[in-house]
Homo-oligomer: A and B are copies of this chain.
Amino acid sequence: MKYLIFLVSLFFVVPVQSQIPDLMPLPAKYTLKNKDFSINTSFKIEIQGDANERVYKEASRFFQRVAERTGLFFKTWMVDEGSKLSGRGLLIKIKTKGNLALGMDESYSLQIDQAQILLTANNDIGAIRGLATLIQLIGAGQEGYFFKGIAIEDEPRFTWRGLLVSQPYHFMPMDVIKRTIDAMAAVKMNVLHFYISDDQGYRIESKVYPRLHQLASDGMYFSHEQVREMVQYADQRGIRVVPEIDVPGHSTAMIYAYPHLASVARDYALQDHWGVFDPTLDPTKASTYTFLDSLLTEVASLFPDQYFHIGGDENTGKDWQKNQSIRSFMQSNNLKTTLALQNYFNRKVQAILQKSGKITVGWDEVLMKEVAPASAKKYFQDGRYDQLIETNVPKDMVIQSWRGMEALLSSAKNGYKSILSKGFYIDLVQPASYHYLTDPIPFRNDIIIPDSEANFDRFESDIIKKIQQGEKLLSAEEEKLILGGEATMWTEHVSAETFDSRVWPRTAAIAERLWSPAELRNVDDMYRRMDIVSIQLESLGLTHIKNKEMMLRRLMGTNDVTALSNLVQYLEPVQGYKRNRANNFTRFSPYTLMVDIAVPDQKAVRSVTALFANAGVTKEIEKLNQVESLLQQWIVDARKVQLDIDQKPALKDFLVPTIYLEKIAAVGINAIGIYKSGSKLEKFWDEEKEELFKKAVKENGYCELKVVTPLKNFIMSLVRQ
């Protein structure tokens, strides 16, 4: 728990040069130096100490990546026990073998100067984190490549820095998972939450219940061998893999394969659509637990991590209420609510997993009690947090909070460990800045940002009020119970082709939130560094940049996609659950259209916004000309795309955005013309234009044109000159 004590005493060192290095996540402490370590073909790496095989392999990969980036033909390459420094090089000193587990020591120290690079760590995992930092420090100039001179003392603020990948909605094959793991390691994340089972599919082989993968996977699942391959791949990069089998709700796939598990007899099939469904395991039958005993023991044996996620979210309880025998069971066992029955179920599942030595993790609902709103409010006001939760939840259970502050507070106040996911739902395609400013310990008035989306949280506004009034809601001890957070990639609306662009680079901002000091909240600099890291991540095989034009080429059937590519960089998918509400998307519908090609939080939108803002403020002629030629380009591109659409119907979603882009660009050009002629613009902004921009900003084809408002603001600044 050393890291937790460290966390409290943490402070953010502003370096003398007041220059922030191109690192993400930023280290806990660093000082830039004046002299760098130049890299030449004699570069070598030596590892000293009781090192695990992991770090040799990572060091070899590191060597290879440095060669790829710099084009240097190194004289040596594989790093093994025989690798010794004879002169300048990287010396890695390790005390002992690392143990990949919750609370593991990931600290390291890195000293780069002209003569040497010294990376010291207590174990190989810390050393791997240090190598992830070092590769980001490659710099280039006329003289060649170098590692930036710096002194770093680093360790994570939180021990649980996760990414959830849900396999049931759209299956992500091994290559996607492997490159995801590589990217996670690059930004020092350490938990892959591997979500296996849901209403739409069951995604790993089961030897004890083979109908699970045979019937409920459409042939898309990981064999035992592949699960081991993935776990081993993650282990080599210092990443734990925590599996989730979501029970008793979200279990259509399981019930479809084994209908005797159902609470209600009906014709079951995999769900094609997304949402919350009623099928639920019957928690009153012995045969359900026999099944789970064999199944969970089998799954547990595949994942060496001590933690095992049992889901527990979004059980509607309806199927339990429908079944007379379940209702009787609740009565005779004095279980007043379905949440109470679920609590009964959870304890039996926990007992099963305990036999395999596992500690369970669950979503909010596994802890929360059904309490009438008025009573709940009173309990909350009186600080009677114990009344908000179910009794009998084992104290070692970890709560994953997807609904927010109430659960997080109740969990910590009652002594439960927890991890935050609300605010880190990257599938909702919100900007990185939003995720970046979300903090796993939100109970301080300087770091709260309220979240209006998907608010299941009864007391959020009350909590925020209390915090803002200066009330200290959590003690230092209670804060320590918050282990970290997890970005969640629910894969309803992604394919293997678009997965990366929905996860990266935004997840790097979350990685920084979870690793770096809480005080670090400079959004502009986060974006500056994220853009750099984004290119570096691409070298790991990520497709988040390169698949855009590939997808455009598919729809065009030719290489001629420049206009489309220019246009699509201003379009972002609608945020939150807006796309979910349209019920036409399924497991098999195409994810190859405009909304899938557009990516969240576009860099071009940020650049154009900055250009417009700057030109609007300075009104320098050079800037105005820049804006003008940009707008002219919009018109050229829009017209070209309109012609393309005519022959390629799959491009039809682009039509409306091109029409608006063309029209608003014309308004902008017009405004600049008038301004440059020296005339007044006071009557320029009429109702017609207001209406046009209002329409242009609206959602089309599940996308929003993100440059409308920035352009309007620019025009307004001319109008108000």
Q: Are the C-beta atoms of A590 and B554 separated by less than 8 Å?
A: no
Indicate whether A140 sits within 8 Å of B649 (C-beta atoms), given known contacts A538-B554, A546-B550.
yes
A175-B593 Cα distance, complex, nearest whole Å: 24
Q: Are the C-beta atoms of B558 and A553 separated by less than 8 Å?
A: no
* Most chain B Cβ neighbours within 10 Å, of A68, A69, A223, A591: A68
A141 at the interface (CB under 8 A from B): yes
* Most chain B Cβ neighbours within 10 Å, of A229, A539, A543, A588: A588
Indicate whether A649 sits within 8 Å of B550 (C-beta atoms), given known contacts A589-B73, A590-B68.
no
A452 at the interface (CB under 8 A from B): no
A532 at the interface (CB under 8 A from B): yes
A557 at the interface (CB under 8 A from B): yes
A648-B141 Cα distance, complex, nearest whole Å: 6
Cross-chain contact of A554 among B173, B539, B547 (Cβ < 8 A): B539
A393 at the interface (CB under 8 A from B): no
Per-residue CB contact flags for chain A residues 209-228 toward chain B (1 = under 8 Å, else 0) read 00000000011000101100
Quick one: which of A601-620 are within 8 Å of B by CB?
Answer: 603
A661-B543 Cα distance, complex, nearest whole Å: 32
Per-residue CB contact flags for chain A residues 549-561 toward chain B (1 = under 8 Å, else 0) read 1100111111100
Q: Are the C-beta atoms of B71 and A650 separated by less than 8 Å?
A: yes
Question: How far is the CB of A364 from the nearest CB of chain B, in Å?
Answer: 34
Contacts of A650 in B (CB 8 A): 69-71, 140, 145
Question: How far is the CB of A645 from the nearest CB of chain B, in Å?
Answer: 10
Indicate whether A590 sits within 8 Å of B557 (C-beta atoms), given known contacts A225-B225, A649-B140.
no
Quick one: which of A26-78 are within 8 Å of B by CB?
Answer: 57, 64, 67-74, 77-78
Q: Are the C-beta atoms of B547 and A590 separated by less than 8 Å?
A: no
* Most chain B Cβ neighbours within 10 Å, of A57, A553, A586, A652: A553
Per assembly, the copies of the chain total 2
Residue of B with least CB distance to A143: B649
A602-B702 Cα distance, complex, nearest whole Å: 37
A588-B650 Cα distance, complex, nearest whole Å: 43
Q: Are the C-beta atoms of B647 and A554 separated by less than 8 Å?
A: no
Question: How far is the CB of A267 from the nearest CB of chain B, in Å?
Answer: 14
Cross-chain contact of A590 among B72, B78, B225, B538 (Cβ < 8 A): B72
Cross-chain contact of A588 among B64, B556, B558, B559 (Cβ < 8 A): B64
Question: How far is the CB of A5 from the nearest CB of chain B, in Å?
Answer: 38
A646 at the interface (CB under 8 A from B): yes
Contacts of A333 in B (CB 8 A): none
A592 at the interface (CB under 8 A from B): yes
* Most chain B Cβ neighbours within 10 Å, of A586, A589, A652: A589
A175-B175 Cα distance, complex, nearest whole Å: 6
Q: Are the C-beta atoms of B71 and A559 separated by less than 8 Å?
A: no
Q: Are the C-beta atoms of A557 and B538 separated by less than 8 Å?
A: no
Residue of B with least CB distance to A63: B588
Quick one: which of A521-569 are within 8 Å of B by CB?
Answer: 531-532, 535, 538-539, 543, 545-547, 549-550, 553-559
A584 at the interface (CB under 8 A from B): yes
Contacts of A175 in B (CB 8 A): 173-175
Q: Are the C-beta atoms of A71 and B555 separated by less than 8 Å?
A: yes
Contacts of A72 in B (CB 8 A): 590
Contacts of A226 in B (CB 8 A): 225
Contacts of A74 in B (CB 8 A): 588-589
- How many A residues face the partner with a CB closer than 8 A? 59
Cross-chain contact of A223 among B225, B546, B559 (Cβ < 8 A): B225
A144 at the interface (CB under 8 A from B): yes
Per-residue CB contact flags for chain A residues 571-612 toward chain B (1 = under 8 Å, else 0) read 000000000000010101111110000000001000000000
Residue of B with least CB distance to A593: B71
A86 at the interface (CB under 8 A from B): no
* Most chain B Cβ neighbours within 10 Å, of A71, A73, A647: A71
A19 at the interface (CB under 8 A from B): no
Per-residue CB contact flags for chain A residues 674-701 toward chain B (1 = under 8 Å, else 0) read 0000000000000000000000000000
A142 at the interface (CB under 8 A from B): yes
Question: How far is the CB of A81 from the nearest CB of chain B, in Å?
Answer: 15
Residue of B with least CB distance to A603: B559
Residue of B with least CB distance to A653: B71
Q: Are the C-beta atoms of A71 and B584 separated by less than 8 Å?
A: no
Q: Are the C-beta atoms of B547 and A145 separated by less than 8 Å?
A: no
Cross-chain contact of A78 among B71, B141, B218 (Cβ < 8 A): B218
Contacts of A535 in B (CB 8 A): 553-554, 556-559
Q: Are the C-beta atoms of A140 and B71 separated by less than 8 Å?
A: no
Per-residue CB contact flags for chain A residues 637-662 toward chain B (1 = under 8 Å, else 0) read 00000000011111010000000000
Cross-chain contact of A546 among B219, B546, B593, B603 (Cβ < 8 A): B546
Contacts of A57 in B (CB 8 A): 219
A376-B586 Cα distance, complex, nearest whole Å: 69
A73-B653 Cα distance, complex, nearest whole Å: 14
Question: How far is the CB of A719 from the nearest CB of chain B, in Å?
Answer: 33
Q: Are the C-beta atoms of B70 and A649 separated by less than 8 Å?
A: yes
Contacts of A140 in B (CB 8 A): 557, 647-650
Q: Are the C-beta atoms of B550 and A549 separated by less than 8 Å?
A: no
Q: Are the C-beta atoms of B545 and A71 separated by less than 8 Å?
A: no
Contacts of A584 in B (CB 8 A): 73
Residue of B with least CB distance to A556: B535
Residue of B with least CB distance to A67: B590
Q: Are the C-beta atoms of B67 and A589 separated by less than 8 Å?
A: yes
Question: How far is the CB of A44 from the nearest CB of chain B, in Å?
Answer: 14
Contacts of A652 in B (CB 8 A): 71
Indicate whether A588 sits within 8 Å of B77 (C-beta atoms), given known contacts A71-B593, A649-B144, A650-B69.
yes
Top 6 A-B residue pairs of the complex, sorted by shortest distance between their CB atoms: A175-B175, A71-B650, A77-B588, A225-B225, A546-B546, A67-B590
13 other A-B residue contacts (CB within 8 Å) besides A67-B589, A78-B218, A538-B553:
A69-B554, A71-B593, A73-B589, A73-B590, A74-B589, A140-B557, A140-B648, A142-B646, A174-B174, A175-B175, A532-B557, A535-B558, A549-B549
Chain A positions near chain B (C-beta within 8 angstroms): 57, 64, 67-74, 77-78, 140-142, 144-145, 173-175, 218-219, 223, 225-226, 229, 531-532, 535, 538-539, 543, 545-547, 549-550, 553-559, 584, 586, 588-593, 603, 646-650, 652
A–B Cβ pairs within 8 angstroms, 6 of them: A68-B592, A70-B649, A73-B584, A73-B589, A140-B649, A532-B557
